[in-house]
Amino acid sequence: MNKAVFLDRDGTINVDYGYVHEKNRLEFIPGVIEGLKILQDLGYLLIIITNQSGIGRGMYSIEEYNVFNNYMLKELEKKGVHITDVFMCPHIDEDNCECRKPKLKMYYDAIEKYDIDLNKSFVIGDRIRDLSLCDNEPIKGILITEDNNEKFIYKKSLYDSALYIKNKEKSWFFWIFVHNISEREKENKNEYF
């Protein structure tokens, strides 16, 4: 099984100026590239889960979305960041689809496609609806906000979120290392007693 970080797009990876779709206005949030590289180096699949209601509202077309999305992915690749996949919902709330966050279809499609171990994975977003998977599954959510939030881990940026995950990984590996040593010590003692 694979571990993954599910990422919201607008407001988490790139600046959200509202209905983002023009490639000449793409602006990565400061620290995002570094944060994504940290997560990638830790072995996480990077999967974007994004609502794009501007399509359903007629503000831009699916073709314009694809041009922007492909441009963004190429810009990230140039900077050494590989996004495993992007799952997008073009609907508005009134469509009552199964994919628009906070509904979970896009997440479950990604989980199935990439054989994701949710116990070792994270969701990062700037809105509570981005973390809806945490209500139903054993996955940790990080809300990008300046405000304290008791339900989720909260960090000020994707970069801070990546550092948090990196520190969690270090402490987890340390626990495994110590645990394995103590198990070996027990086995050695049993040989002599």
pTM, two decimal places: 0.88
Q: pLDDT band at residue 184, thresholds of 50, 70 and 90?
A: very low
Q: What is the pLDDT of residues 65-105, one digit of tens each?
A: 999 999 999 999 999 999 999 999 999 999 999 999 999 99
| Mean pLDDT score across all residues of the chain | 90
Burial of 107 (0-12, 13-18, 19+ CB in 10 A): buried
Annotated catalytic, 130? no
Which CATH superfamily is 4-192 part of? Answer: HAD superfamily/HAD-like (3.40.50.1000)
Whether residue 186 is predicted with pLDDT greater than 70 in this model: the reply is no
In whole angstroms, what is the distance from residue 99 CA to residue 109 CA? 10
Annotated catalytic, 8? yes
Q: Copy the structure tokens of residue 35.
A: 């944060």
What are the backbone dihedrals phi and psi of residue 170, each rounded to the nearest 5 degrees, phi first? -60, -45
Residue spans of the domains in the chain: they are: 4-192
Q: Copy the structure tokens of residue 32.
A: 């995002």
8, 16, 41, 85: the active-site residue:
8
